[in-house]
A and B are shown apart, each in its own frame.
Chain A
Amino acid sequence: MYRIIAISFMLLFVSFSNAQNMIATPSSVVPCTVCHGTQLMGNKSNEAPRLAELPAWYIERQINEFKAQGRGVHPDDHSGAEMLPSAMLLTPEALQEVFEFIAVVKPPQPEKTLHGDIERGKQLYMQCVACHGAAGEGVEILKAPPLAGQNDWYLLKQLQHFKSGVRGANSKDSSVQTMVFASKALSNETDMIDIISYISTLNNETGTN
């Protein structure tokens, strides 16, 4: 009980300090924040992922994927289809402003919405380490994005999409195909939830950027 109270106090403190440190959104980033959240913390209701910790190289690749219609065109990729026209409009200058905003914005850690078997997830995560790193920090040279800090519901959705072919089917990117292949090794949703529950433990207190 005392532990819960202590944690709540800590959360309140973190939250309050975040309220104090709101950073103005550059005008060309405002359209992004409509869906991705005003501090780019993601928004489950809009199915828009957290951008706050994503590295520039990964975001740029994804925008290019959308522009090349490698992402967001599958009939079952509803949120991807919503992103596509916005990606089409993004200029390199606007994208640069997005990166600059990400570098300074520090939203609170995402809330956990999945509660799988963390120990089991830790074992299963071994197969992800080679590309995504032991701490889920991502490896640029392999084009594997960081996973730590991301919204758990978004990771689950993407794993499901990779496995079912919704994500990757239209892509010519070899790293995407690597992930499509890797997702097949996960036999069911329980595996996915366990892995993601473990990944959520890798989130640190102040964000990973």
Chain B
Amino acid sequence: MHLSRRHFLNMLAAAGGSSLVYNASLAMDFMSKDAKLTSLNLPPANDKNKSIVILGAGIAGLATAYELEKAGYNCTIIEASHRAGGRNLTLRHGDLVDELGNPSICNFDDNHELYMNCGPARLPGHHQRILHYCKALKVPLRIFANSNRLAYLHDSKNFGGKPVRIGEHMADGRGFVAELAHKSLTTGQLDAGLTEEDIAKFKQFIAAFGDLKESGLYEGTERAGSTVDRMLFHAKPKAPKSLTELINSPLFSRLQFMSEAYDWGEPLMTPEGGMDKIVDGFMGALKSPVILNAQVKSIYQGDNEVEVSYVKDGKVVKHKANYCFNNIPAHFMSGIYNNLSENYRTALGALKRGKLFKIGFQMKERFWEDEGIYGGISYTDLPVTQIWYPSNDIFGEKGIMLGAYVWGNEQNEYFERMTPKQRLIVAAENGEKIHPGYAKYIETGVSIPWSRMNHMMGCGSRMSEDDHKKYFSLLQQPDGRHFMIGDQISYHPGWQEGALASAENALSIFSQQVGK
């Protein structure tokens, strides 16, 4: 049988999950490269179309204002919330946790190292747009540990319900896949089409991949650590778990590959002192007014201008501009009077609210560091789903730990329906299963259900596949003088890079239009 390259990739996929294919494809240079963003350098504004109104001071709105301002436009940003930044939210001591129906104040200690990134928290090296702005706005970044081989996979139904170090699972998984592949080549069933030399080289790769013995067998590896002190004795690897036990665990089969995703590939970065340093950077650079606590009531498009009315200090204010860039979550648009075209409004209505939930705990001691964990993420099949260890302030007295990071509608609703206090109790109980004694370290906590947060009511908007085909490209285009922007108008909702891409797209169409 002839082993084509495609066939080889399929085989790997069957044996080890699609992430292996991904890596192999990368090695073979199949994947496209990401475009590098240089400054947008919009053409200078002309006098006829100089005034711009931007709705929503999220990342897309701020970047749009920044670029237009540089080109000489007069911008006004109108923001419904008490703060700029949208879902780029970092909570610290004394901040308002603005959940609809459950407002509270964040009780973290007053310390610059004690903060929680409630929305975006990590930046991969290929998100060139957001990194470009970090550089331009002089936002200091540092490395952020996303994956950590010493963090845990916790499967409550397997391995005796005990957490297993991710590195052990990785070593065993690769070992068994390699052993299988090595055997297949030896028996000559899959090697047709490869020369003797090819096979020898490929076997070297396989052996290195799984750390196999010379025999081609996997008998455990030092990569997963040692049962004796490795400095004073020869390392003695743990015996591998049985293959049947391993593959019985859905977490083993899925979650050890989380950091294989392109957006979570190491190394990641994060702004020193909190993600909202990017918001601060934009706010410091902008000269345009950013009007806070101003909820938009109507958007009316005439022939030569757009009239937006908003409420500020108990009064309706009408604001006219030549063009409008709209960063408001699309699911609010049917509640805001507007005269956008019917097609466009239908398309906006097809964007549905996504859900995402986080909990932040202030821990009085950094107990995870005693377990050799410095940054990174543990995964569990319990409702909290993920636990994040802070990458900042190693050996500090205290730390803010992410006590839950939850996707999926049902899982989110489970937490949303609880009072904020109940949510923390459940998350503490979940944490106990991974780190016995966990709850006693908790001093205070906050919960952020994004689909309940005031003026947001959602995170990572969704569209059905059919609607996407029908409507999405429409929303990437303006409706008259109105441009929709935000991560919602990208193929990457929930990422600042998606928000910036939407702004870049809108601005490039805009400058072609006004240039005429």
Which A positions have Cβ atoms within 8 angstroms of B?
A: 12, 15-16, 18-19, 22-27, 30-31, 33-39, 41-46, 48, 78, 81-82, 84-89, 107-108
Contact = CB atoms under 8 A, between A and B. Distances in A.
Nearest to B307: A19
A127 B295 CA distance: 42
B100 interface: yes
A46 B316 contact: no
B332 interface: yes
Interface centre among B330, B331, B335, B452 (most CB of A within 10 A): B335
B97 to A, nearest CB: 13
A137 to B, nearest CB: 25
Nearest to B350: A45
B332 A27 contact: no
A9 B309 CA distance: 22
Interface string B285-328: 00000000001111010000001010100111000000000000
Contacts of A84: 101
A26 B335 contact: no
B353 A24 contact: no
B314 A27 contact: yes
B57 to A, nearest CB: 16
B457 A38 contact: no
Contacts of A42: 335
Given A38-B295, A85-B101, 13 more contacts: A15-B337, A25-B295, A26-B314, A30-B295, A30-B311, A33-B295, A35-B457, A37-B336, A43-B334, A45-B330, A46-B335, A46-B353, A88-B101
Given A19-B300, A38-B296, A89 B335 contact: no
Contacts of B297: 22, 25, 38-39
Interface in B4-22: none
B337 A45 contact: no
30 contacts: A15-B337, A18-B337, A19-B300, A19-B307, A19-B309, A19-B339, A24-B316, A25-B311, A27-B314, A30-B311, A31-B100, A31-B101, A31-B454, A33-B335, A34-B100, A34-B455, A35-B100, A37-B335, A38-B296, A38-B335, A39-B337, A44-B334, A44-B349, A45-B331, A45-B352, A48-B335, A81-B413, A81-B417, A82-B416, A86-B100
A89 B455 CA distance: 17
B189 interface: no
A42 B333 CA distance: 11
Contacts of A39: 297, 337
Given A25-B295, A34-B457, A107 B101 contact: no
B23 interface: no
A16 B101 contact: no
DSSP majority for the A interface?
helix
Contacts of A43: 331-332, 334-335
Contacts of A35: 100, 335, 457
Nearest to B102: A85
DSSP majority for the B interface?
mixed
Interface centre among B80, B296, B333, B337 (most CB of A within 10 A): B337
B480 to A, nearest CB: 14
Interface in B348-380: 349, 351-353
A45 B455 CA distance: 14
B452 to A, nearest CB: 7
A185 to B, nearest CB: 32
Interface string B396-433: 00000000000000000100110100000000000000
B413 A78 contact: yes
Given A24-B311, A89-B101, A82 B452 contact: yes
Contact of A85 (B100, B314, B339, B413): B100
Contacts of A26: 314
Contacts of A25: 295, 297, 311
A107 B336 CA distance: 10
A81 B307 CA distance: 36
Can you list the 9 inter-chain pairs with the closest CB atoms, starting with the nearest?
A85-B101, A37-B335, A43-B335, A45-B331, A86-B101, A38-B297, A19-B300, A22-B309, A22-B316
Contacts of B331: 43, 45-46
A55 to B, nearest CB: 21
Contacts of B413: 78, 81
Interface centre among B334, B339, B452 (most CB of A within 10 A): B334
Contacts of B353: 45-46
Contacts of B417: 81
B435 to A, nearest CB: 30
A19 to B, nearest CB: 4
A34 B349 CA distance: 16
A86 B416 CA distance: 13
A43 B338 CA distance: 13
Nearest to A107: B337
A141 to B, nearest CB: 32
A80 to B, nearest CB: 10
Contacts of A85: 100-102, 419, 452
A184 B102 CA distance: 36
Nearest to A89: B101
A24 B315 contact: yes
A192 to B, nearest CB: 21
A31 B455 CA distance: 8
B311 A37 contact: no
Interface centre among A30, A42, A46, A88 (most CB of B within 10 A): A46
Contacts of B307: 19
Given A41-B337, A45-B332, A45-B352, A22 B298 contact: yes
A38 B413 CA distance: 25
B461 to A, nearest CB: 10
Nearest to A16: B300
Nearest to B455: A34
Contacts of A81: 413, 416-417
Nearest to A8: B342
A202 to B, nearest CB: 22
A45 B349 CA distance: 6
A27 B457 CA distance: 19
A79 B197 CA distance: 64
Contacts of B339: 12, 15-16, 19
